[in-house]
Amino acid sequence: MSRVLVDGHPFVPYTPESVAPDEALARGQALFDELDSRRSVRRFRSDPVSRRCIELAIRAASTAPSGAHRQPWRFVAVSDPALKARIRAGAEAEEQRNYEGGRIPPAWREALAPLGTDSDKSYLEVVPWIVVVFAEQHGLGPEGERLQNYYVKESVGIACGLFVAALHRMGLATLTHTPSPMRFLNEILERPAREQPSILFPIGYPAADCLVPDLKRKSLDEVAIFRE
Ligand SMILES: Cc1cc2nc3c(=O)[nH]c(=O)nc-3n(C[C@H](O)[C@H](O)[C@H](O)COP(=O)(O)O)c2cc1C
């Protein structure tokens, strides 16, 4: 690749494939159809998933744009049964306080009711993999100095979206799970305090008797405003 210097910084040519308009529509439709068929799953089977699939999903996620290109994400992939059991115990303890202990306000409980969620997180010991995504609040320079990160939440959110899409593309199912507060994951997974747990993804194949809530997605008119 031919590098040039712009203001003393290296740049390389970027010439993505050019896509004809009809082909663009066909690809866009195909991608939409595929993404639209994704559902969050809360009942899994225990069939193995190769580590390679998890690595590819993490690599796909890691292509996300990020504030000042800080890439402030860490993906901790867990298949160790003992660690999964500790994660389940930690998640259920927090979720029991949320669901049974009244930590979730009534309006939130009402919003969750159609999803059929509760504090039972047994799937965390059924799935072959759990991936916990940590958001790095600040980085560390070569001398251990504090490096400012930018737009951490937004960057990690985009990476998580790509991660979910990549898993779906490989025929895998997941759930965007946030057993809040999630700091218990730092201790179990031995991550430093500057990394904040963002989302916990159980990953596997849906159980044969898996049911998902009959949800409707908002129409284009409800989510888009065009000003032409
Ligand atoms: C940031 C975020 C946090 C979520 N947290 C939970 C959670 O803790 N437990 C759960 O069962 N689902 C959780 N979900 C999943 C949503 O309930 C689910 O995405 C939504 O109902 C739409 O269903 P779908 O993913 O099948 O389209 C979360 C989703 C997002 C985006």
Regarding pTM above 0.95, the answer is yes
Query: What pLDDT does residue 152 have?
Result: 98
For 46-77, what is each residue's pLDDT tens digit?
999 999 999 999 999 999 999 999 999 999 99
Tokens of 44: 């899994």
Please list every protein residue whose CB sits less than 6 Å from any atom of ligand 1: 39-40, 42, 115, 117, 175-178, 212, 215
Tokens of 133: 């995504």
Query: What pLDDT does residue 1 have?
Result: 66
Ligand 1 pocket check: which of 37, 174, 175 to mutate, most ligand atoms within 8 Å of Cβ? Answer: 175
Ligand 1 pocket check: which of 127, 176, 185 to mutate, most ligand atoms within 8 Å of Cβ? Answer: 176
For 206-225, what is each residue's pLDDT tens digit?
999 999 999 999 999 999 99
Place of tokens 């940590």: 134
Query: What pLDDT does residue 150 have?
Result: 98
Average pLDDT over every residue of 76-91: 98
Spatial separation of the C-alpha atoms in residues 219 and 197, rounded to whole Å: 32
